[in-house]
Amino acid sequence: MNSMPGIAGETNDFKTKWNLQIRQRLYGPQRQGDLDGEYIDSSDGYVTDELDLHRDHFAAAETPLVFSFGTHRPAIFRGLIAFEYIRPIAADMHGTGKLMMANATPDRLCWLTPMLDVLGAETDCNPRGEWRPMDDAHLLYRRALCKGKPYCFLMNTAFENFSHDLVARSMKRALAYGCFPGFFSHNASEGHYFTRPELYERDRDFFRKCVPLCKVVAKAGWEPITGARSGDEHVHIERFGDQGTRYLTVFNDSPERRDTTITLSLKASETSPRAGPRQARLLDERQDDGRAGPRGHGRSRAPAVTRDPTCSRAQASLAACHHHGRRPLICPGVGRNAWDGRTVVGSQWPVAGGQ
Give the range of the structural domain holding residue 38, as residue numbers without chain letter. Answer: 13-220
Confidence at residue 267, expressed as pLDDT on a 0 to 100 scale:
61
pLDDT band at 24 (very low <50, low <70, confident <90, very high): very high
The number of beta carbons lying within 10 Å of the beta carbon of residue 256 is 14
Q: CA–CA separation, 259 vs 164, rounded Å?
A: 27
Domain check: are 227 and 216 in the same one? no
Percent above pLDDT 70 for the chain: 75
| pLDDT 10s digits, 220-248 | 999 999 999 999 999 999 999 998 899 99
Domain check: are 142 and 238 in the same one? no
Asked if residue 338 is part of any domain, the answer here is no
Of the candidates 202, 220, 238, which is a domain's last residue?
220
Domain check: are 170 and 307 in the same one? no
Domain check: are 58 and 177 in the same one? yes
pLDDT of 282 over the 70 cut:
no
Mean pLDDT score, 292-299 = 30
Mean pLDDT score, 196-200 = 98
Domain check: are 235 and 208 in the same one? no
Domain check: are 202 and 72 in the same one? yes
| pLDDT 10s digits, 111-160 | 999 999 999 999 999 999 999 999 999 999 999 999 999 999 999 999 99
pLDDT of 314 over the 80 cut:
no
Residue pair 238/144 in contact (Cβ under 8 Å)? The answer is no
Asked if residue 184 is part of any domain, the answer here is yes
- The CATH number covering residue 29 comes to 3.20.20
pLDDT of 317 over the 80 cut:
no
Confidence at residue 270, expressed as pLDDT on a 0 to 100 scale:
52
Cβ contacts of residue 210 below 8 Å, gap of 6+?
171, 172, 174, 175, 181, 332, 334
Taking every pair of Cα atoms in the chain, the longest distance, rounded to a whole number of angstroms, is 77
Domain check: are 103 and 189 in the same one? yes
List residues bridging with 75 in a β-sheet. 66
Taking Cα atoms as reference points, which of 241, 234, 230 lies closest to residue 265? Answer: 230
Domain check: are 255 and 192 in the same one? no
Number of compact structural domains in the chain: 2
Domain check: are 212 and 99 in the same one? yes
Of the candidates 220, 250, 270, which is a domain's last residue?
220
Of the candidates 190, 220, 250, which is a domain's last residue?
220
**Total residues found in the chain within this entry:** 355
pLDDT of 25 over the 90 cut:
yes
**Minimum mean pLDDT among 18-32, 72-86, 271-285: which range?**
271-285
pLDDT of 352 over the 50 cut:
no
Asked whether the bond before 106 is cis by omega within 30 degrees of 0, the reply is yes
Domain check: are 93 and 201 in the same one? yes
Asked if residue 353 is part of any domain, the answer here is no
pLDDT band at 1 (very low <50, low <70, confident <90, very high): confident
Q: Is 97 left (phi over 0), alpha (psi -120 to 50) or beta?
A: left
